Chain A
Amino acid sequence: MIRFSNVSKTYDNGTKALRNVDLEIADGEFVFIVGSSGAGKSTLIKLLLREEVPSSGAIEVNGYSVNRLKRRQIPGFRRSLGVVFQDFRLIPTMNVYDNVAFALRVTNVSTRDIRRRVPYILSLVGLASKARCKMNELSGGEQQRVALARALVNNPKLIIADEPTGNIDPELSYEIVDLLNEINKVGTTVLMVTHEHDLVAQFNHRVITINGGSVVADDADWRRR
């Protein structure tokens, strides 16, 4: 579960990125966070990932009190999440298999389990045949699927997707969100940040709209508005 309680974030240069944000996302939900550039979406993600700490308020994610985490507790917290970024953030010197296996290696999973788990996840995202390919041999959509496989491989309770379709073709965007939709159906909470309203409209999920650092709308069924 994700809970933001009266969260504000002001950066050192005085920019007020978030103002008194209150929101709650239950386990198993699929939520879109929408908003224009500079609305505060990125700051929200940074706070969720403990890349930044709030100036005031409290954040709870997967049972972790995120704003109170000690430095040594951060890796453990991040392992409970799966994150997908707009720019994929894959290691270009590693092949598809190693990029996915990497997320398991950092958690001390045995080589035997890695060999079992990675091919299964790659087949889920439709990349089983490309396991030995390098990143520069893949299309944008395929790279994002590798990133999704990496986010899924640890079996996280929550997937955070930060503009996952921002760098790929519109027709492939639907595929990616559909994949996230399938993942959500098996009980994984999905939080997807995007500014593509057309894409959001194709799915029947809760939509939280942020503007000027505040939550301005929280619609359970945005499509029907």
Chain B
Amino acid sequence: MKGSSFTYLLKEGGRNIWVNRMMSLASIGILVSCMLLIGSAILLSINLNGMVNYVENQNEMVAFLEDSADDTLVNAVKSALDQNDNVDSYAFVSREEALERYSEIVPDSLLENLEADKDEVFPLSFRITLKDLSQIEESIAKIESIPGIMQVNAPTNVAETVTGIKRAVYIGGSGIVVILLSVTLIIIANTIKVTVFNRRKEINIMKFVGATDLFIRMPFVVEGILLGVISACIAYLLLWGGYTYLIDYVQTQTATGFSAFLKNLVPFSQVAKQLFASFVTGGVAIGVFGSMIFVRKHLKV
């Protein structure tokens, strides 16, 4: 294909959008709506997941050391925890710190009885957070097997609940995105089908003056790419504006009692690049493949 023909076909693609502007507008509208729906579902899923992760990170287990534990043993436990893949973080709690924490939550009268050797009452311990709460049972067993660990207290019930919610969010989120994606594909396929059908005479004429299939397809493909990119940009900007506004609004509503959750909402900038890339890739792929498939039917002349 000559350079002049290539330029002509590119121009034709752009011209077709303008000439068939009502259909182009309808296509853009449908593409943008679908992208907004899918984008919103993805953002919702990411945020729900973030909230569950936040709850997950709040759940600590406490590993108590034997009374006889000395610095050597504490260091040995630390290195054993370092080697555990599921340990996200840990903090060593000395007897004094344990007492201090205890004194914050119990009345002074109770502490008076401990006056004699209160520094010796509380055992040394580690407060440990896990990366994956679904593996809590295995992690407890591993930590309990570390020499010097006397007992591990862990919120296994909470862990089970959080793991369940996390799985539900993952399955639900993926399911919604898959359903929306399928609906989107059907709607867009029909839109392209109608667009191509409206121009079947044009395709027929091209065939009779000796145009090759590639020559006929190219303007449709260019059109598909342009509509995909335009729709992706519009959907991205709308989602960006809408989501940022919503986050700002929600985060000012401190009275809701969920302030800790709300502080953990995912900022748009964190997912912006991936979302934009998916929108453009999705839009272009749908435009190109849709045009290729549906023009094909009318090429058999």
Contacts and interface: CB of A to CB of B under 8 A. Distances in A.
**Dominant secondary structure at the B interface:** helix
A75 B211 contact: yes
B206 interface: yes
B5 A108 contact: yes
Nearest to B205: A89
Contacts of A110: 2, 4
A103 interface: yes
A219 B117 CA distance: 131
Contacts of B201: 89
A93 interface: yes
A106 B204 contact: no
A108 B202 contact: no
B19 interface: yes
Interface stretch (A14-22, A76-84, A138-146): A76-84
A224 B215 CA distance: 48
B205 A91 contact: yes
Interface size class of A (residues with CB under 8 A): 20 to 34
B107 interface: no
Contact of B202 (A49, A51, A72, A91): A91
B8 interface: yes
Interface in B2-27: 2, 4-5, 8, 19-20
A110 B201 CA distance: 26
Contact of B210 (A51, A72, A76, A90): A76
B4 A150 contact: no
A56 interface: no
Contacts of B206: 102, 106
Contact of B212 (A75, A85, A89, A103): A75
B106 interface: no
Contacts of B20: 93
Nearest to A112: B4
A106 B202 contact: no
Interface in A94-139: 102-103, 105-108, 110-111
Interface string A51-83: 100000000000000000000100111110001
Nearest to A88: B205
Nearest to A106: B211
Given A78-B209, A89-B208, A106-B206, A111 B4 contact: yes
Interface string A139-176: 00000000000100010000000000000000000000
Contacts of A51: 301
B246 interface: no
B84 to A, nearest CB: 64
Interface of A: 49, 51, 72, 75-79, 83, 85, 89-91, 93, 102-103, 105-108, 110-111, 150, 154
Interface of B: 1-2, 4-5, 8, 19-20, 201-202, 204-212, 215, 301
23 contacts: A49-B208, A51-B301, A75-B210, A75-B212, A76-B210, A78-B207, A78-B209, A79-B209, A79-B210, A85-B208, A89-B204, A89-B205, A91-B205, A93-B20, A102-B209, A103-B209, A103-B210, A105-B5, A106-B211, A108-B1, A108-B2, A108-B5, A154-B210
